[in-house]
């Protein structure tokens, strides 16, 4: 959820979505990501530390993807 929502938010920003659309998407993404994490703990299938770790790894993946795009853009790695 973190990776998908993070990348969708980045795409909205990159392609110039309006401020209201970005704020709405941010709110929906935050509720979605937090909701998925909390339900995992509530259902007893993950420890809270697992969820926080997943959020951090997801954020790292998004940061690496955005950074890679910034470095290589549409041309791909050379």
pLDDT digits (tens, 9 = 90+) for 33-49: 999 999 999 999 999 99
Inter-residue contact 9 to 25 (CB < 8 Å): yes
Whose tokens are 């969708």? That residue is: 8
Whose tokens are 């926080």? That residue is: 52
CA distance 35 to 31: 6
pLDDT digits (tens, 9 = 90+) for 11-23: 999 999 999 999 9
CA distance 16 to 4: 18
Q: Where are the domains of the chain?
A: 2-73
Q: What is the pTM of this model?
A: 0.86
Stretch 56-74: mean pLDDT:
92
């Amino acid at each position: 959820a973190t990776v998908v929502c993070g990348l969708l938010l980045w795409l909205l920003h990159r392609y110039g979505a309006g401020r209201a659309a970005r704020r709405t998407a941010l709110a929906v993404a935050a509720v979605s990501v937090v909701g998925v994490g909390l339900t995992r703990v509530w259902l007893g299938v993950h420890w809270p530390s697992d969820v926080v770790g997943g959020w951090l790894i997801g954020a790292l993946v998004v940061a690496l993807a955005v950074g890679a795009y910034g470095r290589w853009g549409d041309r791909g790695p050379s």
